[in-house]
Chains A and B, each alone.
Chain A
Amino acid sequence: MNWNEWEFVWKRQDLPVGEGADVAKLMATFEAAHRRMARVLLVRDLTEASAGVLVSGVFAFTGWHMGRAGWPIAIAVALCLGVTGVFLRERVKARRARTGPGAALLEKVEADLAELRHQRSLLANVAWWYLAPLFLACMIVMATVTARTPHGSLQRAPLFEAGMILFFLALYVGVWVINRRAVTKQLDPRLAELDKLRREILSP
């Protein structure tokens, strides 16, 4: 059989015609799903932003309560707010850069690839823009508070201090490992697939 014959077979297939669907009901379902998704995204963004603001608030209150001696905590507050700012900026940037579903196939694949590469670089460098500033902020607050506690108290015990440092280190290393795993198990395979598709599209 040649191409024309296959084309003939293709064109003779039975396909649904006419509306036959309750469009109003379908759209109501989509709108409800859309609203749900918008709510989920809003809650996620608000949670991320407010968590940073809340921690900054607690640090600021601690610093203010300590008076002049608490000035190093201002650096910790700035670090926390900086991380929150980067978070929010990335969310806004990603939303603006997103290509609509009606883009040409090549344009869509390239835009998705660019977005994925950006996400990958953010996760791969999470230690520098997220974990390191927060770890530093925690250390600053801990050191400032400890310096004000009387000698001989539990907080001054070297074992306690080492334990706290180890606790924060373990916490941040854990977060780093989870992010690395997300890069290698999820993002890298998707990147490879999309890149393959792009090469497929562009291969002459």
Chain B
Amino acid sequence: MNADPDREARFGAWLGAHRGILVKITRSFARSAADTADLEQEMMLQLWTSLPSFSGQAKDSTWIYRVCLNTALMWHRGGERRGRRIEFGADFSGVASSGRSPADDAAKDDLLEKLYAAIRAIPEFDRALILLALDGLSYREIAEVTGLSENHVGVALTRARAKLAERLEGVRNELE
């Protein structure tokens, strides 16, 4: 298989513009550092594999959500895949600086960690819905990613939000 420049350009553009999606999904589904690396690698591999079947009909971000959420949902079920880690030569550690004070960052990080912990505690499909909703996807876009009808998405999302709110109840009390 020869390197295809278009494929390489698109893959680079996807990673450049949407890497945040991978990070958020990984943080919501993986529970340890080893799992995080494993899942992120698997998502990138699946994204790369999906490139030839991407026809451009869906938005880039919708496609990436589909591929990455499919990977995350199936990931720990495919036991045979584990331990197939590929050694990457590339470095992905660059994180943009926010320019906020450390105290502000610490408080924000604490809340964010609590939010992630609550997300990790709810059922997997609810987790996927919450991620999509928090990222601001419309019901129509969530329906495209999940394959459900918009009405179904509305109902399922209400239920998922209620479960998340239950998990975050303690945090609310802590803050008050």
Contact = CB atoms under 8 A, between A and B. Distances in A.
A13 B92 contact: no
Given A24-B8, A27-B48, A31-B1, A109 B112 contact: no
Contact of B12 (A13, A19, A108): A19
Interface in B143-176: 144-148, 152, 155-156, 161, 164-165, 168, 171-172, 175
B94 A101 contact: no
Most chain B beta carbons < 10 A, residue from A11, A26, A204? A26
Contact of B94 (A12, A18, A28): A18
B19 A33 contact: no
A1 interface: yes
Contacts of B87: 29
A189 B35 CA distance: 21
**Interface size, B (range):** 35 or more
B102 interface: no
Contacts of A24: 3, 8
Contacts of A108: 70, 73-74
A14 B111 CA distance: 13
B24 interface: yes
Contacts, number: 172
B92 A27 contact: no
Contact of B3 (A17, A21, A31, A190): A31
Interface residues of A, number: 50
A56 B137 CA distance: 59
B119 to A, nearest CB: 10
Contacts of A161: none
A97 interface: no
B20 A16 contact: yes
Contacts of A58: none
Most chain B beta carbons < 10 A, residue from A28, A30, A106? A30
B86 A197 contact: no
A100 interface: yes
Given A19-B16, A197-B124, A34 B1 contact: yes
A27 B19 CA distance: 16
A88 B123 CA distance: 39
Interface string B115-130: 1000000011110100
B66 A102 contact: yes
Given A12-B98, A12-B108, A190-B77, 6 more contacts: A20-B91, A30-B48, A30-B86, A101-B47, A105-B69, A197-B73
The 8 A-B pairs of least Cβ separation, nearest first, read A104-B147, A15-B20, A106-B147, A23-B12, A20-B94, A19-B16, A22-B90, A101-B50
Interface of B: 1, 3, 7-8, 11-12, 15-16, 19-20, 23-24, 44-50, 53-54, 58, 63, 66-67, 69-71, 73-74, 77, 79, 86-98, 108, 111-112, 115, 123-126, 128, 134-136, 144-148, 152, 155-156, 161, 164-165, 168, 171-172, 175
